[in-house]
Structure 1
Amino acid sequence: MRPYLSSSKYIDFDNPEVLSVARRLKASAGSESDLVRLCFEFVRDEIEHSVDFKRNPVTCKASDVLRFRTGYCYAKSHLLAALLRANGVPAGLCYQRLSTGSSSAPYCLHGLNAVYLKEHGWYRLDARGNKPGVDARFTPPREALAFSINEPQERDLPEIWAEPLPVVVEVLARYDTFDQVLANLPDVELAELPVK
């Protein structure tokens, strides 16, 4: 579990501001499950999604997300992982591949988290931020994510990453404004299925 408990360049929970918020949330929690819920709800509700609120700057590091109180789903997942790891709770990064339109190309990655809960094992949660049509919650063992998979080229990618995917970091580092990122959202090619 060490990689899912470590501080790093983008999940920088050794930052004093991140540590302070992590400790404050832990002080309010009655149990580990309660702590996870509080961290999740803090990121979901207190950090504004860059597109929903048309907010700059583009953030990537957990400490920047906290400082500027804004981020894309990817950046918000970095902050949630940092808050959980700072409190000794294993946390990783997950991705979905979703259509950016109604049900066809183009596609993009959507960033979310997985947390290791002693009672349930790995559990995915999505702190993207709720809005009309999006109602993500912490309801283990049932997942309540922001988006569902609705068509053949969309996927729940099964990996739990300790660090952000390079394609995600590259996009967040390259562009200066939320609308530039929106026009260049990261994606991955799906592996071809073997012919039976």
Structure 2
Amino acid sequence: MRLIQNTPDLSAYLADDEVIDHHHPVVRETAARLTEDVDDSYDYARAAFEFVRDAIPHSADTGDPRVTWRASDVIALRTGICYAKAHALAALLRAEDIPTALCYQRFQAVHGLVAVRFDGAWHRLDPRGGKPGAGARFSLTGEGLAFTADPEAGEQDYPTLYAAPHPLVLRALEAAPDAAHLARTLPTAL
């Protein structure tokens, strides 16, 4: 699948904002810890991916009622759904100057993941983790996504790469007082 930047300016995929707040101390401290045992940006990207996938449980899997959406909150509270985990990974990668986009798939609801730019190409990564059957793995030579979209079943990989969260996703996260409400209001299409 050909991935398409929604803005041609690559610097947008390094930006810090209210959601992907990579200048926040908790993000910077986490990034600094992750850089201690790596040799290069590829190793760092793998370490950041594995940290978000493995150390931040998906709140739907654990039954955590809290809704996080800001990257620093996801990292500090160690909980979030796919969108939140994607925001955390994007912040950790951008903290080390690795261009990172948010991207989406559509199943029964829209699923969030990221794409990183290495060697002039975008590579999708899915930090969801946790759930049996969600075999997300780090790969820059093929996709190791948690789930594969089946177009015959009405599922879809959206090709657009966003520098900031899609407005429908962000609206659902910000408006949800708890996970039960969020589950009822997740976007079903973009």
- How high is the TM-score relative to the length of structure 2? 0.91
- Higher Cα Rg, which structure: 1
Runs of at least 4 residues off by over 2 Å: none
Distance in 1, Cα, partners of 2:167 & 2:14:
20
Q: Let me know the Cα RMSD of the aligned residues.
A: 1.2
Match of 1:94 among 99, 103, 106: 103
Q: Are 2:165 and 1:156 aligned?
A: no
In the TM superposition, 1:83-162 aligns within 5 A as: 83-99=92-108, 108-118=109-119, 121-152=121-152, 153-162=154-163
Contact in 1 for aligned 2:60/2:81 (Cα 8 Å): yes
Q: How far is 1:183 from its partner?
A: 1.8
Instruction: Flag the structure with higher helix content.
Output: 2
Q: How far is 1:134 from its partner?
A: 1.1
- How high is the TM-score relative to the length of structure 1? 0.88
* Structure 2 counterpart of 1:17: 26
Contact in 2 for aligned 1:168/1:186 (Cα 8 Å): yes
Q: How far is 1:176 from its partner?
A: 1.4
Q: How far is 1:23 from its partner?
A: 1.3
Distance in 1, Cα, partners of 2:41 & 2:76:
25
Q: Which runs of 5+ in 1 are unaligned?
A: 100-107, 190-196
Contact in 2 for aligned 1:116/1:122 (Cα 8 Å): yes
Structure 1 letter corresponding to 2:115: A
Instruction: Flag the structure with higher strand content.
Output: 1
Structure 2 letter corresponding to 1:145: L
Residue identity over aligned pairs, in percent, reads: 44
Query: Aligned residue pairs: how many?
Result: 180
Match of 2:77 among 68, 71, 75: 68
Structure of higher RCO (CA pairs closer than 8 Å, 6+ residues apart): 2
- Between 9-18 and 142-151, report the one with greater CA deviation: 142-151
